[in-house]
Chains A and B, each alone.
Chain A
């Protein structure tokens, strides 16, 4: 203290030291967490792939953070302030809480600042809940459907589903390697690195961190070609492998809530719908074509002849509802010997909406799309 009395200027060392400790401490924690490479027994890429497929999960609850930086132009999309709409996942950073207790008990909650959107599956009941609008929808799954995992879940963004998608792509077109071990959500994990062999793909690599004991994906990173920072990441920030309480999956619509009951299709209706879908698919197939294989697949769809806009539903431009034509016309115009249209270019994929109604998209540079459109 006497030193501080004789030299008052030295007092400023104290707040400086606190500031350095706070900033340095925070940064050091971050670096240590990022660079810590847990010691794990060696496992080959193939073993890890099998581990992933054989993972049997009794239950799980946790928080997933998704961050997308797809490099898309800012579109006039109706992003609600502080909203927690499922559609808002495409850009920025989001928090999703997941609970899982088997195929028929799942809950996904997209966390907004002071809002929440939930999708809850409990047995045959599928509920959605939106706290902003205070609306719920309910659907009962038919017998045939109930066996299938619910595809409506925005689960393609949880590490599990995203990894499944990535692993489907594992075929002769992909190099699979084991990367550095990682720590995700405080757990040790192996990392699988998938790289396209075809260098024309916009995707540089996909890294999947696989939990060392539970064999479930904890983190998925998708890198654009030549990029050091992932364009998309989904990772558990906190995870617990104990089976969540059953109460977590019961949903009773609170009084005052608008509940939309979605009809359960009967067996005949479902058969009819399936037949329709098949017919539709066949029709679509004749109108669409696939160029290339694997990572550089380009899909060209021929849209049905433009309907007069009178068919647009009346509330098509109501709150949240965006006229797709508006979004398309905000995109930059491109033309070439293939015709002309609008280009949507991102870090991981690009798409062309041609003026003649064709749409081409794929994880490739626009030039490949033009090629496909020309062919």
Chain B
């Protein structure tokens, strides 16, 4: 007869308290509200302008479609914000993550509670990732709401010239949001690394933006075409794949691999720097 051993006491898997407090910091600050309001303003501006002065064809990507279907306000706004606004928002949050605490002198108190530095870093990065997804979702959702309000919904025209129902259209926009969330999370990993290097959050934010813009510039130089597939921003526009018929998810793999590579290298770098860092402020 076998004796069932008493199950040993399992401590609460992982306490979410630390993460919750981090999220309160990110989503509770008034300056971050202002930033998110700015992100949400773009789709509203786009929709109102397109309603008041309906233009002819042309214009940036997806603009000519808005009048037919409000869903395209989401895509137009995402496309418009991808080069600057979204990376800037992520850079601000990621740059603030460690350097901000160091700057206000709260980092040493944070480390005074028995929290492993690795865990602190993990929570900080998780907060940045959640913000990145939330920022993209905010732009898409605002665009969808204002678009439906002003232009109505209906079947969605894909790039391949076929139509899908509105529900599937929303799912495809959700796919775009998830893909861009992953892309911006990779930028967030670079941001957390830079943030461990300095005590000046604004300096970290600027450095992250410099890297982003540099990546965009290198992506434009024809002679560097051998380098371009490895640039962080090169595959960001690949989200257009979700608007084809049929969707070939294989086309998204290079973008996801590049994002994973950057995330791995820079998170490891952030760990190496932060775990061995003298925290004096």
Complex contacts, A111 vs chain B, CB 8 Å: 244
Q: Give chain A nearest CB distance to B278 CB in angstroms.
A: 9
Nearest Cβ in chain B — how far from A41, in angstroms?
A: 31
Q: Given A133-B57, A252-B162, answer yes or no on A14-B271 (Cβ-Cβ < 8 Å).
A: yes
The distance from the CB of A234 to the nearest CB of chain B, in whole angstroms, is: 17
Q: Is B49 an interface residue (CB 8 A)?
A: no
What 0/1 readout, one digit per residue, does chain B (238-278) give for beta carbons within 8 Å of chain A? 10100110101011000000000100111011011101100
Return chain B residues, CB-CB under 8 Å to A18: 264-265, 268
Cβ–Cβ contact A97 & B248, under 8 A: yes
B25 in the interface, Cβ–Cβ < 8 Å? Answer: no
B254 → chain A closest CB, angstroms = 10
List of 8 A-B pairs having minimum Cβ-Cβ separation, nearest first: A8-B276, A15-B268, A114-B240, A11-B272, A15-B269, A129-B161, A116-B159, A113-B237
Query: Which B residues are closer than 8 A to A by beta carbons?
Result: 57, 61-62, 64-65, 68, 79, 157, 159-163, 222, 225, 237-238, 240, 243-244, 246, 248, 250-251, 261, 264-266, 268-269, 271-273, 275-276
User: Cα distance A12–B238 when bound, in Å?
Assistant: 33
Q: Tell me, in angstroms, the Cα distance from A136 to B161 when the chains sit together.
A: 9
Q: Is the CB of A254 within 8 A of B162?
A: yes
Known: A11-B271, A114-B61. 17 other contacts (CB 8 A): A8-B276, A13-B272, A17-B268, A18-B265, A18-B268, A82-B61, A97-B248, A113-B238, A113-B240, A114-B79, A115-B240, A131-B161, A134-B65, A248-B246, A252-B162, A255-B68, A256-B157
A8 and B265 in contact, given A114-B79, A254-B161 (Cβ under 8 angstroms): no
Q: Once bound together, how far apart are the Cα atoms of A109 and B159, in whole Å?
A: 10
Chain A residue with Cβ nearest B225: A93
Give the interface SS of chain A, mostly helix, strand, loop or mixed: mixed
Q: Could you tell me the distance between the alpha carbons of A226 and B160 in the complex, rounded to whole angstroms?
A: 41
What separation, in Å, do the CA atoms of A133 and B59 have in the docked complex?
Answer: 10
What is the distance, in angstroms, from B156's C-beta to the closest C-beta of chain A? 10
**Chain A residues with Cβ under 8 A from B64's Cβ?**
134
Partner of B62, one of A4, A93, A114: A114
22 A/B residue pairs, CB under 8 Å, sorted by A: A11-B275, A15-B268, A15-B269, A92-B225, A109-B160, A109-B244, A114-B61, A114-B62, A114-B240, A114-B243, A115-B61, A116-B159, A116-B160, A116-B161, A129-B160, A133-B57, A134-B57, A134-B157, A251-B161, A253-B161, A254-B157, A257-B161
Is A263 close to B, CB under 8 A?
Answer: no
How many residues of chain A get a CB closer than 8 Å to chain B's CBs? 40
Choose among B79, B268, B271 the residue with the greatest number of A CB atoms under 10 Å from its CB.
B268
Complex CA gap A82/B239 in Å reads: 13
Please state if B272 and A22 are interface contacts (CB–CB under 8 Å). Answer: no
Most chain A C-beta atoms within 10 Å of own C-beta, residue among B161, B222, B244: B161
